[in-house]
A and B are shown apart, each in its own frame.
Chain A
Amino acid sequence: MRWWQIRKRDADLERELRSDLELEEEEQRDNGLPPDEARRAASRAFGNVTLIREKTRETWGWAPFERLWQDLRYGMRQLRRSPGFAVIALCTLSLSIGAATSVFSVVNAVLLKPFAFRDADRLLVVRETEDKAGSGREIVPDNYRHFLYLKENAKTLEDAAIFRHSAGSISPNGDHPRVVGTVITSPNLFRLLGVRPMLGRNFVDADARKGAAHIVVLSYEGWREFFSGDSNVIGKTLRINGEPNTVIGVLPPGMHFPQVALSPKIHFQELGQNVMLYEPFVPAERDLKNDTGNFNYSVIARLNPGVTVPQAHAELGALLSSYTVSSHLPVRFGIAIAPLAQDVASGVRGGLWLLFAAVGAVLLIACVNLANLQFARAVSAEHETAVRAALGASRSRQIMARLTESLILAVIGGMAGIALAFLGVRMLLALVPANIPRLEEVRISVPVLLFAVALSMLVAIAFGILPALRSLRVPPHAALQTNSSRTANVRDGQRMRNIMVAAQLTCTVVLLIVTALSLRSFSHLMHQNRGFDASHVTVAGVDLFAPQYGDFSSKNPQPVKQAFADRALAALRQLPGVESSALTSATPLKGETWVDYLHRPDRPLPDGQEPLVNVRFIDPDYLPTMRIPVVAGRNISAGDRGDPYVALISERTAREAFPGEDPIGRKIGSLAPDSDHLFTVVGVVADTRINGLKDTAAMAYAPYWVFTHWTLSFLVRSSQPSDVLIPEMRRVLWQVDPQVAIPVLKSMDEQVSESAATDRFQAIVLSGFGISALLLALLGVYGVLAYSVSLRQQEFGIRIALGSGKGSMVGLVLRQAAYPVLFGTAAGLAISFVVLRWVRSLLYQTPVMDPLAISGSVLLLLAVSATAAMIPAYRAASVDPMRALRSE
């Protein structure tokens, strides 16, 4: 029989029994009995109708389900009888399951889910390494010639594609242009990934030949954005940087190409932008000739089936070193490879797992709290349990009855948790820094739902099993007798509850210390000396992506770019309240870019052995505007415009390139592209954290009169607030040329704070979890004490009657609280010492044994525990002895 027929079947049985009873009755009447008599006789003959029904139902084979149904109804009834407990339990459960599910949805998308590419586990990111005299081995991006050699000779690779992330300006409807992320790639990239265009065709090798027509493949998002999803888009023209390109294909919607960093240190500037278009990579002259420079590319490779990563690593490494030898290269090159998914998430893996661990700890604490509450309920229901046992309830039946209640809570809490997770994911995505990869894939997907369901079940068992097992230990006869044995059970239960509180505090201490360290680290990051002054400065990043400004490969119209810079600087200076306006070639705090070797003609080192510097092209007002002091020599000045080959270096560059020497007046190799003109060092400027707050940068500055870059960053120091200045700056810049793109326009403070987004995210989310843990611990300590005080009313009454003072009563309860609190804290400290080693890499210049963080966390927890204990302690002291003694 099917279970959905059970109701019908039940009604059927009911009718059958009734009709049979009536037949019997009729028969009795036919035998000549009066109606009343007949009914009684029939009932007598028939027997116990309920029993017959139950026995019959047993034969249907659905008894276990019926028992479950009974347990469910019983559980629901129990919960309705204690609504306070039910509400607290459901709130705790839904919040903690919701939080855990939200964090898991991020962890799943960023770290666990494979890419939607064919056999994504066989995809690798390949980079090179370079042995340096002083600093050891360094990971660098790929060189085109090395790539060709490896691709040609590697037997472990099925295929390899070379590409680089770039940016292009698009002005769809003749508006001011905007800058979008692009990828310039060898034609085989999509075939390697196993992605077919949804419309049009794939790249072919001929597209990458010199002089081939300009073509572009759109991402699905780009197609929607620039052509509003026009299905006749193939063959149409899209202007990129003002140049016409023919659209040859559109990629399918699931294709999200990840941002692959050039090297662990060098990220592409616009990291975090979606890739909107793909252009074929046409190797330039310098790509085809240079073996020791031009490390400008990333490589994705596909392993042959059955080949392991170490095998590929060994083969590629051997190939590249033999190439180094046969080509007589002055540097030793090696290989660094990582699976694609791992590489893309490398910067955020530790942080995300930490958050996941933190939310897990909160969940655990919540579980212990609920277990404690359930435990108390089990103890107070002992009498009932004993009655059931005495009436013959089997052990499994007893356990199930208790577990079912937890199960009901977990199911309702889990569903509410999943609903909350939809909100939680939104909140996380609003907080999450944009540089975390694959965020567009974060959603409550099927695996996330399965996780939530499994988690709820696990939680139900975790907090239900102990109290359930406990109900077994009640001997049927003992609980039926009153008082004496009950006190013994109370004491026994108390020990269990103390252990649980201690466990809770252990978790809380660890979580609090990790949170405190993260806050300390973040505060240090934000408050350390940066070497520049961001306040009252507004920054506008301008991209000169238009035909009149040319590009690297074709003509290089310096005068046009310089004229734009001059006019823009002059116009910005005219804005009201402006103290100074300045120019640099890279937006501050956007990471290392334009990294070059610093060449000293008086002491030449082999290629690859020279120190690396970040080259910036600035105007004379840059240093004063950013309040960066000149340490030795002088700043560049307007007087240098006639003979602009002067340079400034930072203190760190001076230490690395001129150890123990005075750099002023020395010549250094060309800083400008495509030029051999030497520069004279005229000044040394203070070190700054201008590329990223975590490290001072080795810098070399040259005037923009030598070379004006296509990306310009205008800095304005003004008494006006940034939000007043921003629209003004935009207006002025577009007045100079409406065809330039302005991808960045914000206050420098904002720029600083955005650069610390990952650390802030970690600190904020951890703080949230830390506070939750603290509150739960407070509830836990309070709950256990309050419960035990309520059970010991009589004892306290006697003590007071015998002359105990208020103070000693409070002391009595506090002492009781002290054991689990102190024990739990100590255990937490011990565990912290193990856990913290693992957190070290996530902190910025903060020792994990930071005394302030550790002592602060412990003191906070002790203070909170003491507060939680005070209320029950005070209640114990104010027991009215007469009432307490009379109450039993």
Chain B
Amino acid sequence: MNSKQVNLLQGTLDLLILKSLGAAELHGLGISRRIEQMTQGTFLVKPGSLFPALHRMEEAGWLSSFWGESENRRRAKYYRLTKAGKGQLVVETQEWKKISLAMNSALEAT
């Protein structure tokens, strides 16, 4: 696996996490489930990539976390978007749209 791919994937993962938290506060497992659901099962985010990403994003100031209670009365750590996170979501969404547009036109060119 070369580093370019890693970066690309990482960027994608960040965007997916930001998007998943756009509507609600979720815990780790909740985020994976939400992403799975949003992408109709295309992306399965494993804890091995999810947790490092969550902590990195928290470090970057996009997410904040707190301990809360899950739907079946268990304590779980919840994440929510910060103001900076919301901004980042807008930026990354635009970025991604540009890339996907460019990719599409590249692939459609004859």
Contact between B52 and A55, CB atoms less than 8 A apart = yes
Complex Cα distance, B41 from A176, in Å, reads 106
A484 within 8 A of B: no
Can you sample 30 A-B contacts with CB below 8 Å? A1-B59, A12-B77, A13-B51, A13-B55, A15-B77, A17-B47, A19-B27, A19-B74, A19-B75, A19-B77, A20-B47, A20-B77, A23-B29, A23-B70, A23-B74, A23-B76, A24-B29, A26-B74, A27-B29, A47-B46, A47-B47, A47-B48, A52-B47, A55-B48, A55-B51, A55-B52, A58-B52, A59-B55, A59-B56, A61-B59
Cα distance A59–B70 when bound, in Å?
Answer: 26
**A880 interfacial contact with B, CB 8 Å:** no
Extra A-B contacts (18), CB below 8 Å, given A48-B48, A55-B48: A16-B51, A19-B76, A20-B27, A23-B29, A23-B74, A45-B46, A46-B47, A52-B52, A55-B51, A55-B52, A56-B52, A56-B55, A58-B52, A59-B52, A59-B55, A59-B59, A60-B55, A61-B59
List A residues 36-70 near B (Cβ within 8 Å): 45-48, 51-52, 55-56, 58-61
Q: Which residue of A lies closest to B54 (CB)?
A: A56
Residues of A with C-beta under 8 A to B46: 45, 47
B42-83 contact mask (Cβ, 8 Å, vs A): 1 or 0: 000011100110011001000000000010101111000000
Seen from chain A, the residues whose Cβ lies within 8 Å of a Cβ on chain B are 1, 12-13, 15-17, 19-20, 22-24, 26-27, 45-48, 51-52, 55-56, 58-61
Number of B interface residues in the complex (CB < 8 A): 17
A52 to B55, CA, bound (A): 11
Q: Could you say which of B27, B48, B59, B75 contacts A52, with CB atoms under 8 Å apart?
A: B48
Report A50 CB to chain B, min CB distance, Å: 11
B residues near A13, Cβ cutoff 8 Å? 51, 55
Using CB atoms, name the residue of chain A closest to B53.
Answer: A59
Q: What 3 A-B pairs are tightest by C-beta distance, nearest first?
A: A59-B56, A16-B77, A20-B28
**What residues on B are CB-neighbors of A52 within 8 Å?**
47-48, 51-52
Minimum CB–CB distance for A265 against chain B, Å? 74
- Which A residues are in CB contact (< 8 Å) with B52? 52, 55-56, 58-59
Give the residue name and chain of the B residue nearest to A48 (CB): B48
B55 to chain A, nearest CB (A): 5
* Nearest CB of chain B from residue A44's CB, rounded to whole Å: 11
Chain A residues whose CB sits within 8 angstroms of the CB of B27 once the complex forms: 19-20, 23
Contact at A16–B47, with CB atoms within 8 Å? no
Most buried by A among B27, B51, B72, B74: B51
* Residues of B9-46 contacting chain A, CB below 8 A: 27-29, 46
- Bound CA span A26–B72, Å: 9
- Please indicate the chain A residues that have their CB under 8 angstroms from the CB of B48 in the complex: 47-48, 51-52, 55
Which residues of chain B come closer than 8 Å to A56, judged between CB atoms?
51-52, 55
> Within the assembled complex, what's the spacing in Å between the Cα atoms of A354 and B70?
76
Min CB gap A57→B, angstroms = 8
| A-facing residues in B69-107 (Cβ within 8 Å) | 70, 72, 74-77
What is the CA–CA distance of A34 and B5 in the complex, to the nearest angstrom?
40
Q: Nearest chain B CB to A8's CB is how many angstroms away?
A: 13
Q: How far is the CB of A279 from chain B (nearest CB, A)?
A: 73
Complex CA–CA separation, A352 to B45 (angstroms): 72
| Bound CA–CA A56/B59 (angstroms) | 11
Min CB gap A88→B, angstroms? 46
B107 to chain A, nearest CB (A): 34
- List, in ascending order, chain B residues with CB within 8 A of A24's CB: 29
Contacts of B77 in A (CB 8 A): 12, 15-16, 19-20
A53 to chain B, nearest CB (A): 8
Closest to A51 in B: B48
Q: Does A17 lie within 8 Å of B51, measured CB to CB?
A: yes
Q: How far is the CA of A338 from the CA of B51 in the complex (A)?
A: 72
B66 to chain A, nearest CB (A): 11
Whether the Cβ atoms of A20 and B74 lie closer than 8 Å is: no
Chain B residues positioned under 8 Å from A55 (CB to CB):
48, 51-52
Provide the bound-state CA to CA distance between A61 and B56, in Å. Answer: 9
Shortest CB-to-CB span from A29 to chain B, Å, is 11
Q: Which residues from chain A contact B74 at a C-beta distance below 8 Å?
A: 19, 22-23, 26
Min CB–CB distance A47 → chain B (angstroms) = 5
Instruction: A34 to B9: give the CA distance in the assembly, Å.
Output: 36
Q: Report chain B residues within 8 Å CB of A51.
A: 48
Question: Taking the nearest CB of chain B, how far is it from the CB of A288, in angstroms?
Answer: 83
When chains A and B are docked, how far (Å) is the Cα of A24 from the Cα of B74?
12
Q: How far is the CA of A207 from the CA of B52 in the complex (A)?
A: 83
Q: Give bound CA distance, A334 to B1, whole Å.
A: 86
> Which residues of A have CB within 8 Å of B59?
1, 59-61
Give A42's nearest chain B residue, CB to CB.
B29
Please name all residues of chain B whose beta carbon is closer than 8 Å to the beta carbon of A59 when the two chains form the complex.
52, 55-56, 59
State in angstroms the CA–CA spacing of A183 and B59 once bound together: 69
Contact of A16 (CB < 8 Å), options: B28, B56, B70, B72: B28
A13 to B59, CA, bound (A): 14
Q: How far is the CB of A501 from chain B (nearest CB, A)?
A: 51
* Complex: A46 Cα to B56 Cα, angstroms: 19
The residues of B that contact A1 with a CB separation of less than 8 Å are 59
Residues in A with CB closer than 8 Å to B72 are: 26
B76 near A20 with CB under 8 A, answer yes
Closest chain A CB from B54 CB (angstroms) = 8
CB distance from A56 to the nearest CB of B (A): 5
Closest to B72 in A: A26
CA distance A26 to B30 in the complex (A): 13
Give Cα A790–Cα B58 distance, bound, in whole angstroms: 57
Q: How close is B27's CB to chain A, nearest CB, in angstroms?
A: 7
B4 to chain A, nearest CB (A): 20
Of chain B, the residue at the smallest CB distance from A12 is B77
Find the residue from A15, A20, A48 having the highest chain B CB count within 10 A: A20
- Give A58 to B56 CA distance when docked, in angstroms: 9
* Cα of A50 to Cα of B81 in the assembled complex, Å: 27
Smallest CB separation, B109 vs chain A (Å): 39
Say how far B83's CB is from chain A's closest CB, in angstroms: 20
Which residues of B lie under 8 Å from residue A17 when comparing CB positions?
47, 51
> How far apart sit A16 and B77, CA to CA, in the bound complex (Å)?
6
Question: A residues within 8 A CB of B47?
Answer: 17, 20, 46-47, 52
A61 partner residues in chain B, CB cutoff 8 A: 59
Residues in B with CB closer than 8 Å to A16 are 28, 51, 76-77
Closest B residue by C-beta to A26: B72
A47 CB contacts on chain B under 8 angstroms? 46-48
Closest chain A CB from B9 CB (angstroms): 15
Task: Determine the residue in chain A with the shortest Cβ distance to B30.
Answer: A23
How distant is B33 from chain A, measured CB to nearest CB, in Å?
A: 9
Return the chain B residue nearest A24 by Cβ.
B29
Nearest residue, chain B, Cβ from A55: B52
Query: What is the CA–CA distance of A20 and B28 in the complex, to the nearest angstrom?
Result: 7
Shortest CB-to-CB span from B56 to chain A, Å, is 4
Find the residue from B55, B72, B77 having the highest chain A CB count within 10 A: B55
User: Interface centre among B28, B72, B75, by most A CB within 10 Å?
Assistant: B28
